[in-house]
Amino acid sequence: MLIAITRQISPRFNECELTHLDRQPIDLDLARAQHHQYEAALRELGCEVISLPPEPDLPDSVFVEDVALVFDEAAVITRPGADSRKPEAAAVARALSPYRALYTVEAPGTLDGGDVLRVGKTVYIGLSSRSNRSAVEQTRQILAPYDYTVQGVEVTGCLHLKSAVTQVSEDTLLINPAWVDRSLFGPVKFIEVDEREPGAANAVWLADGVIYPAHYPHTQRRLTDAGLRLKIVDATEVAKAEGAVTCCSLIFQA
């Protein structure tokens, strides 16, 4: 059984952290409606959704992906790069504790889950403004007993590694090659984002389909042409907070 942990939109979502975008007003009612649509898409693609209540004092807390990494064997509670986000981890750790043994990233390591892409037994960690080499080394040590390879990856021009590349099928990555070097990922297939949509490389791959945002129609067409089954969701409001569809859930086998 697939579990998807999500968290509801904070009433202070308009105070979210921003690094690469100018602040725009976020419509909270629309954000909540879009988040409910996203949760419905997860259910339609086979997930049991565990929806955590909103955190009134944590603006970015809907982005549960950033505070934990969930593998088949264990989970890693991260240490987010933005200080305002560090308190988000406690509630997610409690939600994960029935399912996995928990490890933690310690200072001076900083790590956002949005910087972590697992492809098979290889774990790529973006070296970004939010995640550093200490966290890469700590994650390598945590996962070594489970035979994972952990590799740091330079990221430029975007917030997280998964802003630049995500997996969309067993052997295919969706990528913006201007933000990350495609040669780092070995012998896989690539679909490049449309150059008019630099932020379009983020998608959620599940066995029964790919959750993809509606506001990237040109890249959407490339994915459809490649034979992928898409579940399209509206995600304009989380995008204003430098979020994307992977950011809003932690998906794992129970």
Q: In the structure encoding, which two tokens stand for residue 114, read together? A: 């949005």
Taking only the tens place, the pLDDT of each residue in 26-51 is 999 999 999 999 999 999 999 999 99
Supply the CATH number for residue 173's domain: 3.75.10.10
178 DSSP 8-state letter? T
- Active-site positions read 160, 247
Provide the domain limits for residue 207.
2-253
Taking only the tens place, the pLDDT of each residue in 82-133 is 999 999 999 999 999 999 999 999 999 999 999 999 999 999 999 999 999 9
Antiparallel, parallel or unpaired: β 122-127 and 116-119: antiparallel
Residue 204 pLDDT > 90: yes
| Residue appearing with tokens 């988000």 | 88
Determine the average pLDDT of the residues in 2-23: 97
Taking only the tens place, the pLDDT of each residue in 143-182 is 999 999 999 999 999 999 999 999 999 999 999 999 999 9
The whole-angstrom distance between residue 117's C-alpha and the CA centroid of its chain comes to 8
| Residue appearing with tokens 């310690």 | 106
| Residue appearing with tokens 């059984």 | 1
Separation of alpha carbons 118 and 127, rounded Å? 15
**Are the C-beta atoms of 215 and 236 separated by less than 8 Å?**
yes
- Residue 141 pairs in a beta bridge with none
196: buried, middle or exposed (CB in 10 Å: 19+, 13-18, 0-12)?
exposed
Tell me the pLDDT of the chain averaged across its residues: 98
- Residue 204 pairs in a beta bridge with 211
Q: CA of 45: how far to CAs of 160, 194, 207, 230, in Å? A: 25, 26, 8, 10
Number of domains in the chain: 1
pLDDT for 186 equals 87
**pTM recorded for the entire structure:** 0.97
